[in-house]
Amino acid sequence: MFMRIDHIGIACRDLEEKIELFSRLFDLEVVAREVNEEQGVKEAMLHIADGEGGGSYIQLLEPLSDDSPVGKFLAKRGEGVHHVAFGVPDVADAMSKIGEKGVRLLDERPRHGSMGSQIAFLHPKDVGGMLTELVQAAKR
Ligand code: V0V
Ligand code: CO
């Protein structure tokens, strides 16, 4: 079902500071930046590699407000890994297959994600404490 790890999402208080840190430590390049109002984030994608159906990235996330998912996460747990996103060929198909296994879907339908992708989230409590994102990358 999963083709690759699409990205690891990292919750940050200061996006510019963490972009500087990750670029300097690991020689990674920012390939996209976006404000996603629906998800309540300002984010940057740092490219790692290309794989089947899309690339692999580090996604740095700064909250747009304290009551957004990342804002609440920072208040509760501080900065660090927020979610793991897996690349799938068809996000709607993956949602229905995983939903049938009793995992709570946090989205009723796919949402707009970074770089034109289609995304959906699974409840962390049903996935061993890991907030899980499904990503169907935009066609290249
Ligand atoms: C919350 N919990 C987590 C968690 N966030 N566990 C693991 N990883 C996380 N990131 C735990 C939390 O500690 C609670 O456990 C329990 O889940 C319920 O959390 P809560 O704080 O009471 O509830 P909320 O209101 O914070 O909701 C949590 C969920 C919410 C996961 C439901 O954050 C959500 O809907 N997230 C999906 C959307 C999202 O995260 N968007 C931002 C990334 P205890 O303490 O009760 O044991 S946007 C993105 O990735 C984009 C745009 C992209 O990739 O393109
Ligand atoms: Co993400």
Per the structure, how many domains does the chain have?
A: 1
Q: What is the pLDDT of residue 135?
A: 98
Length of the chain: 140
For residue 28, give the amino acid letter.
L
Q: Which of 62, 82, 133, 136 is catalytic?
A: 133
9-47 tens-digit pLDDT: 999 999 999 999 999 999 999 999 999 999 999 999 999
123 is catalytic: no
54-83 tens-digit pLDDT: 999 999 999 999 999 999 999 999 999 999
- Residue 117 pLDDT greater than 90, yes or no: yes
95: domain CATH number?
3.10.180.10
Please report which ligand is nearest the Cα atom of 111.
1
- Residue 51 pLDDT greater than 90, yes or no: no
What's the CA-to-centroid distance between 135 and ligand 2, angstroms?
Answer: 8
Q: Domain of 83?
A: 4-136
